[in-house]
Structure 1
């Protein structure tokens, strides 16, 4: 069963050609990797097909901080991301990459900062021989999630069609079958995603004072992920 109890009939990440691809995950914020792509990360890491995880923003917008004091929150969220990545992969040898955009202040395509990020991400894809890039869906309601999708598709254009772009949802409803095909991962080990999410203490507790707190309803996560492949128009 998929999210919302839907019966999922579609492609399987365990089948050819999907199981032979090398994957990179682009997450808007630390915790989105676990919420939206944790099973993808776990499965591809186990198979030796995970290139890495890249975070778009510094996570500084989740809590109120005194002027000039956001560095403590940013450092905490990066440590949490590294711990969550370890829980998902069992590996500390390749830490996540951070592009360090300011949280909740995305820049549009054509802006110099957007172009720099696109060039850097393109270079990483080429260096790590990435075949597929997983990113939050273009219709996600958060501005950083939408920006991450725009960045991923910009990288896809730079690599000229040789990169599969797969979308995952965190806050949005799944896209329709008329616009996307579904690609399903294998189930995760019991408790693995929960342990990874627990690493993001700043998003679950009042450890950094008033600010974002992940709703309890979102902490019950499925064992598998569904990725969405945009159909050719």
Structure 2
């Protein structure tokens, strides 16, 4: 296990968030600290997050997507990154286009242009086997883009659902990854403030879908800790 230091990051940081809220839960502490240190942090929200409450009569998918984009902006502001760049790719939540589809080629092309222009020193991505289809597909998408652009970025992977929903085969095998930790005394407080901006995911805003998704207190306690953990393959 090694410590990730801000001084080791020499250029821009690219954050790949499959949904609005993954940026806060996965690496919000690092986003906040890097921004405070004057580093450029560009966050890409891959999907529109519109499938969290499929059966809500008052919150159709387009309304949820708009709400989640507003929440993402508010969360970045709470992280101190309100003036940092962000991109909303708006791919369909839980139905990202797969390789071979035109939508996938378009997504690769647009993200590749961003990567070429940004030239990130560090890319933060969801763990390749995190147990959500969008997390795995987001990892696959940025991995394809990095290979295509041949930009030598350091890639660190963060987990969201692995410890809660992962199967044994989803976890790293011995020798597969090196673990890095990032610690800062403000991580817990700043992530709590930022996650509060994602009201649609906390069970307090959309209340007419009994089967709708919400982050439980146990999940929040698990993900909002004084130390963030990243894996380098």
Could you tell me the TM-score, scaled by structure 1's length?
0.86
Of 203, 213, 230, the residue aligned with 2:201 is 203
Query: Which deviations, in whole Å up to 9, do the C-alpha atoms of 1:176-223 show, x marking residues without a partner?
Result: 551011222232515111010111000002412321011110112112
Per the alignment, residue 16 of structure 2 pairs with: 26
| 1:95-106 correspondence runs (5 A) | 95-106=85-96
Query: Which deviations, in whole Å up to 9, do the C-alpha atoms of 1:117-167 show, x marking residues without a partner?
Result: 112112112222312211101111100010000011011101225122211
Runs of 4+ in 1 over 6 A off after TM superposition: none
Structure 1 position 51, deviation (Å): 3.0
Per the alignment, residue 129 of structure 2 pairs with: 139
| 1:1-233 correspondence runs (5 A) | 9-15=1-7, 18-64=8-54, 65-66=56-57, 69-88=60-79, 90-160=80-150, 162-173=152-163, 175-176=172-173, 178-189=175-186, 190-209=188-207, 210=209, 211-220=212-221, 221-230=224-233
Residues 169 and 119 (structure 1), Cα distance of their counterparts in 2 relative to 1, 3 Å cut: same
Work out whether residues 32 and 81 of structure 2, in 8 Å CA contact, stay in contact via their aligned partners in 1: no
Deviating more after overlay: 161-170 vs 67-76: 67-76
Query: Which deviations, in whole Å up to 9, do the C-alpha atoms of 1:85-134 show, x marking residues without a partner?
Result: 1111x242235311111111122223221121112112112222312211
Find the aligned partners of 2:27 and 2:82 in 1 and give their Cα distance: 18
Deviating more after overlay: 175-184 vs 67-76: 67-76
Which runs of 5 or more structure 2 residues have no equivalent in the other structure?
164-170
Count of equivalent residues: 219
**Alpha carbon RMSD of aligned pairs, Å?**
2.0
Work out whether residues 76 and 194 of structure 2, in 8 Å CA contact, stay in contact via their aligned partners in 1: yes
